[in-house]
């Protein structure tokens, strides 16, 4: 958790995280031990989840266990994010970023709290920010975040990156130079974070915080591009630290089964550079990610389990040359490799139908996520007829036949069976849902469907 939350919120988040890394059930006694509280307190927390989030996470509670469907993993992670986003301290942080230089009375009114309660919350927020060497000015009537401007912008970008399904920023119309454009267009994973840095930089500049305040002719475009170039330059320095270990690094990656083309080695290093940079700057201070390293690699990664085990220590040894916590860096690194590069035995360019029971627009959003995470395939959004928001079986089959698709990825289950592989994912698929999609694509891309 990026910020400090009250004990009840911390307990509920730990319960959700335990469900994410669990196997469809978890003992009440284990949860009480993790949270250092009574079993009765855990029952009350789980009842809160049932009452408020039961429509997204079906939960069965016995005297000793909580049982939940593993297919709801994506929704569990979404609920975790939404609960944290709904907290007063999170809303306060967002307000201060977007509307700085206001009084306590203003922020109290915006989050529907009393002035004194808001004052206590500001104190908690100040303590949270101090961990990252960032200051919160509360000594005057105008409240704002300050410190090293680059560090402030990185932190605020991380805040929005973590709450990307809950908080949206206005898209930018700033023009970029050749270097920034290259990374925006050719580095899908990196470009997402660059967008948040860009949007936060616009907010900071418009609020009077500039990267180079001493320069007279310094406009918004110069400011934003200077920030992005600084971040890219920082990653380039990390890249230079990694480059001497190319032989060992790519040798290990290939031994695990990834087929990395020579033209992609720079992209792989920049991905690793970003992961190590983010770990050193943010995550090592207060680890905010769910620790699913073993769960992901052993159960969901495309990499053969035996191949991973036989090369794990070798990869950790390479990573330890440029990071203090190789284990923390290894998991997101492999996760990203899985999404961007095929294994040496994989086929390319399989076609999949995407359908969402929410709306056609949501189907398009799911297809965009798929294209980000699994760019080697083609995703075609179903645009045929529906009855009660469900495609008719004949229409869906004909659509798959027309586009020669080998599988269907849907956010709802169908009340009929098709002779086409189908995977049902959560409405907000993330985390282990993505792992299930890895397995599904790896299984279906070798199949030939006879229509």
Question: How would you write the chain as a 3-class SS string?
Answer: CCCCCCHHHHHHHHHHHHHHHCCCEEEHHHHHHHHCCCHHHHHHHHHHHHHHHCCCCCCEECCCEEECCHHHHHHHHHHHHHHHHCCHHHHHHHHHHHCCCECHHHHHHHCCCCHHHHHHHHHHHHHHHHCCCCEEECCCCCEEEECCHHHHHHHHHHHHHHCCCCCCCCCCCCCCCHHHHHHHHHCHHHHHHHHHHHHHHHHHHHCCCCCCCCCCCCCHHHHHHHHHHHHHHHHHHHHHHHHHHHHHHHHHHHHHCECCCHHHHHHHHHHHHHHHHHHHHHHCCCCCCCCCHHHHHHHCCCCCHHHHHHHHHHHHHHHCCCCCCHHHHHHHHHHHHHHHCCECCCCCCCEEEEECCCCHHHHHHHHHHHHHHCCCCEEEECCCCEECCEECHHHHHHHHHHHCCCEEEECCCCCCCCCCCEEECCCCCCCHHHHHHHHHHHHHCCCCCCC
Question: What does the pLDDT average to over 135-142?
Answer: 88
| 280 pLDDT higher than 80 | no
Same domain, 108 and 211: yes
Query: Does residue 74 or residue 154 have the better pLDDT?
Result: 154
Local confidence band at 115 (pLDDT 50, 70, 90 cut-offs): very high
Write the pLDDT tens digit of every residue in 361-417: 888 888 888 877 777 788 999 988 777 678 888 999 999 999 889 999 998 888 888
Residue 1: inside a domain, yes or no?
Answer: no
pLDDT number for residue 288: 46
More confident residue, 192 or 125: 125
Q: Is it the case that residue 329 has pLDDT exceeding 90?
A: no
**Co-location of 324 and 220 in the same domain:** no
User: Higher model confidence: residue 342 or residue 9?
Assistant: 9
Range(s) of the domain holding residue 399: 351-444
Is the predicted pLDDT of residue 255 greater than 70, yes or no? yes
Last residue of a domain, which of 235, 250, 280? Answer: 235
Does one domain contain both 216 and 155? Answer: yes
Q: What is the pLDDT of residue 306?
A: 76
Same domain, 182 and 304: no
Same-domain status, 231 and 250: no
281 in any annotated domain: no
pLDDT at residue 1, rounded to an integer:
73
Structurally, the chain folds into a number of domains equal to 4
Q: How far is CA 317 from CA 271, 310, 325, 349, 398, in A?
A: 18, 13, 11, 34, 51
Rounded mean pLDDT of 191-199?
Answer: 88
Mean pLDDT throughout 126-154? Answer: 91
Q: Is 58 inside a domain boundary?
A: yes
- The CA distance from 97 to 152, in Å, is 10
pLDDT value, residue 324: 83
The model's pTM is 0.75
Q: What is the CATH number of the domain that holds 24?
A: 1.10.10.10
Does residue 231 sit in the same domain as residue 245?
Answer: no
Do you know the residue count of the chain? 451
Asked whether the predicted pLDDT for residue 421 surpasses 80, the reply is yes
Quick check: 300 pLDDT over 70?
Answer: no
Q: Are residues 102 and 63 in the same domain?
A: no
Which pLDDT value is given to residue 47?
92
Q: What distance in Å separates the CA atoms of residue 325 and residue 272, rounded to the nearest whole number?
A: 13
Determine the Cα–Cα distance for residues 95 and 73; give it in Å rounded to an integer.
Answer: 30
The answer to whether residue 94 sits within a structural domain is yes
């Amino acid at each position: 958790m990026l910020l400090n939350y009250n004990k009840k919120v911390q307990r509920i988040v730990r319960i959700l995280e335990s469900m994410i890394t669990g196997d469809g059930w978890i003992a009440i006694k284990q949860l009480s031990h993790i949270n250092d509280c009574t079993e009765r307190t855990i029952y009350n927390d789980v009842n809160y989840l049932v009452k408020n989030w039961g429509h997204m996470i079906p939960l069965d509670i016995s005297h000793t266990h909580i049982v939940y469907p593993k297919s709801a993993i994506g929704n569990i992670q979404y609920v975790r994010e939404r609960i944290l986003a709904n907290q007063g301290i999170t809303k306060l942080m967002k307000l201060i970023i977007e509307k700085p230089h206001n009084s306590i009375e203003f922020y109290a009114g915006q989050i529907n709290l009393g002035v004194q309660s808001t004052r206590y919350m500001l104190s908690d927020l100040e303590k949270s920010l101090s961990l990252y060497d960032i200051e919160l000015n509360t000594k005057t009537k105008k409240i704002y975040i300050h410190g090293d401007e680059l560090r402030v912008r990185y932190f605020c970008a991380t805040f929005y990156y973590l709450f990307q399904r809950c908080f949206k920023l206005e898209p930018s119309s700033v023009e970029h130079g050749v270097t920034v454009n290259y990374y925006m267009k050719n580095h899908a994973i990196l470009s997402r974070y660059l967008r948040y840095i860009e949007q936060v930089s616009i907010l900071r500049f418009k609020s009077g915080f500039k990267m180079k305040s001493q320069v007279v002719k310094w406009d918004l475009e110069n400011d934003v591009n200077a920030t992005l170039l600084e971040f890219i330059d920082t990653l380039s320095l990390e890249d230079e630290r990694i480059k001497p270990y190319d032989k060992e690094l790519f040798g290990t990656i290939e031994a695990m089964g990834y087929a990395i083309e020579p033209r992609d080695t720079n992209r792989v290093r920049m991905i690793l550079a970003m992961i190590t940079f983010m770990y050193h700057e943010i995550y090592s201070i207060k680890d905010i990610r769910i620790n699913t390293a073993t769960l992901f690699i052993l159960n969901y990664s495309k990499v053969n389990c035996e191949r991973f085990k036989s090369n794990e220590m070798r990869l950790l040894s390479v990573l330890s040359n440029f990071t203090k916590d190789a284990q923390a860096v290894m998991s997101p690194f492999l996760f990203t490799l899985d999404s961007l590069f095929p294994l040496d035995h994989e086929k390319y360019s399989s076609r999949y139908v995407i359908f969402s029971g929410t709306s056609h627009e949501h189907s398009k959003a799911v297809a965009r996520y798929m294209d980000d995470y699994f760019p080697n395939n083609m995703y075609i959004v179903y645009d045929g007829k529906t009855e009660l928001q469900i495609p008719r079986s004949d229409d869906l089959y004909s659509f798959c036949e027309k586009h020669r698709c080998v599988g269907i990825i849907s956010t709802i289950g169908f009340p009929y069976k098709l002779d086409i592989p189908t995977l049902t994912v959560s409405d907000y698929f993330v985390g282990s849902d993505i792992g299930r999609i890895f397995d599904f694509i790896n299984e279906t891309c070798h199949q030939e469907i006879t229509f």
